[in-house]
Structure 1
């Protein structure tokens, strides 16, 4: 059986990314609601209150997609990634309510980044692992943007998968992954407590520690400082732009997780080239 050319693998990865992006939208929207419902149920049990009879929010897998406004189930044509939103011109077919731009953006981002991963690693197990990392980072970023939460249900599996892959090893060795995870967590944990002791305020959430620990497990300790610097730069640019355009108030906290995720993905794909370019510019060898 002849091998497929790389360009076809890249195209297939892009299509797969679009399809997965549609599912990631479901995760981004429904997982926080399911988590909140679970917390309310646990709180009522602790307080020994009667069970809440309110129906649970839609599940992530079983319940079909529907319009968030009129609750009408969506047809197969409406669910075509990216093109469904374009064909509907951003409005529900049944109630004409506006459909969030988030849907096509997440699908497009997932498709493009998936294609880049296969272009970088080729048709390999490393590419498959890279796709899982990419999709998880997109889901985490979307949830953090909407709710300022980084669910343990996503960060912990990403951390453990990074440590398991290091046993092969795939991207880094096991000692490097363990040290990277530990330093990744403790670095932001230390910043958090220093900032809180000095100001009395919480500068970031605990999910940020876990996300950087997961990325440290995937890429080792050498990647951590560049990722922190790059995420800070991206955050400053995005935050400054939003404030300048008056689309974000200065006193409203901005989630840092998406910037960590973006920096981690960039370093995962292009870190070696960026490091070599920096060393050439600075004259280091």
Structure 2
């Protein structure tokens, strides 16, 4: 694109990622509340029921200024500096001294590091822009799923369609394999869901997990599906086992699977070729 060295693009992507991470925190916290309010209003309209005066609508995602969730005081711009704002405040609101969740700097830091890794992997060009959109969507979905056990269609479907549209370029995969992988990705987890439900009477995962794997298939093709499922299962087993061993998670409490699918998908997106080459070398496959 320009004569700038790659390291400057990587650094710029990291800084941009920190800023985007601050916005993703807003999406993670506010989108589920807005969706819930919309669902409640739709249900009341469908049932034609009278309701007591509604509460104030949840804050908007783009135009509503940031504020303390506890005292509602509007935050100054320097309190919103990614990562450093939280550190300077020592994790507490400047006005009411209520603790501020570590989610804020963590999401910002992860987004910054992952954004830098995307430019390191794809260089300074349109593939990196696509990779950044892919990364940011997965981080937002993971955060929302961890908090609410929801994978909103408002993010999953655009991710799926963008992957299919990019196959026309093509980016990583041709249109035919992208469509086939999206269908197989969806149907594979859909089959597991219904098999588990018929055997146990319980729901082992949400419908959003099917759609998310379909979106990953649209981006990366058939070759990603089995590795992503295996990697996500491994990550989930390690995290779940560790939390239960530390007695921070009960066996009967459901654990969202979406963040593990997203993490495995992102790892394969960035380093799938290298991981497959390493596996082939270790096992003697050629």
For 1:217 and 1:53, locate their aligned partners in 2 and report how far apart those are by CA, in whole Å. 41
For 1:240 and 1:157, locate their aligned partners in 2 and report how far apart those are by CA, in whole Å. 33
Q: Tell me what 1:53 maps to.
A: 54
Q: What's the CA shift for 1:130?
A: 0.3
Match status 1:263 vs 2:256: no
For 1:66 and 1:112, locate their aligned partners in 2 and report how far apart those are by CA, in whole Å. 26
Q: What's the CA shift for 1:273?
A: 0.7
Q: Tell me what 1:22 maps to.
A: 22
**Pair 1:21–1:197, CA change in 2 (3 A):** same
For 1:169 and 1:50, locate their aligned partners in 2 and report how far apart those are by CA, in whole Å. 52
Q: Tell me what 1:43 maps to.
A: 43
Q: Which segments of 5 or more consecutive residues in structure 2 lack a partner in the other structure?
A: none
For 2:5 and 2:235, locate their aligned partners in 1 and report how far apart those are by CA, in whole Å. 35
Q: Tell me what 2:108 maps to.
A: 107
Q: What's the CA shift for 1:2?
A: 6.1
Q: Tell me what 1:163 maps to.
A: 164
Aligned ranges for residues 190-269 of structure 1 at < 5 Å?
A: 190-269=191-270
Aligned ranges for residues 64-103 of structure 1 at < 5 Å?
A: 64-103=65-104
For 2:49 and 2:189, locate their aligned partners in 1 and report how far apart those are by CA, in whole Å. 38
Q: Which secondary structure state, in structure 1, belongs to the residue aligned with residue 212 of structure 2?
A: helix
Q: What's the CA shift for 1:171?
A: 1.0
Scaled by the length of structure 2, what TM-score is found?
0.98
Q: Tell me what 2:33 maps to.
A: 33
For 2:144 and 2:39, locate their aligned partners in 1 and report how far apart those are by CA, in whole Å. 17
For 1:248 and 1:68, locate their aligned partners in 2 and report how far apart those are by CA, in whole Å. 26
Q: Tell me what 1:133 maps to.
A: 134
Q: What's the CA shift for 1:50?
A: 3.0
Give CA-to-partner distance per residue, 1:92-151, whole Å, 9 cap, x none: 000000000000000000000000000000101110000000000000000000000000
Number of equivalenced pairs: 285
Q: What's the CA shift for 1:191?
A: 0.2
Which stretch of structure 1 is more off in the superposition, 269-278 or 156-165? 269-278
For 2:249 and 2:102, locate their aligned partners in 1 and report how far apart those are by CA, in whole Å. 18
Q: Which secondary structure state, in structure 2, belongs to the residue aligned with residue 253 of structure 1?
A: coil
For 1:100 and 1:245, locate their aligned partners in 2 and report how far apart those are by CA, in whole Å. 21
4+ aligned runs moved over 6 Å, structure 1 = none
Q: Which secondary structure state, in structure 2, belongs to the residue aligned with residue 78 of structure 1?
A: helix
Q: Tell me what 1:280 maps to.
A: 281
Scaled by the length of structure 1, what TM-score is found?
0.99
**Pair 1:81–1:203, CA change in 2 (3 A):** same
Match status 1:7 vs 2:7: yes
For 2:31 and 2:12, locate their aligned partners in 1 and report how far apart those are by CA, in whole Å. 28
For 1:182 and 1:208, locate their aligned partners in 2 and report how far apart those are by CA, in whole Å. 13
**Pair 1:212–1:2, CA change in 2 (3 A):** closer
- Across the aligned residues of Structure 1 and Structure 2, the Cα RMSD in angstroms comes to 1.0
Q: Which secondary structure state, in structure 2, belongs to the residue aligned with residue 77 of structure 1?
A: helix
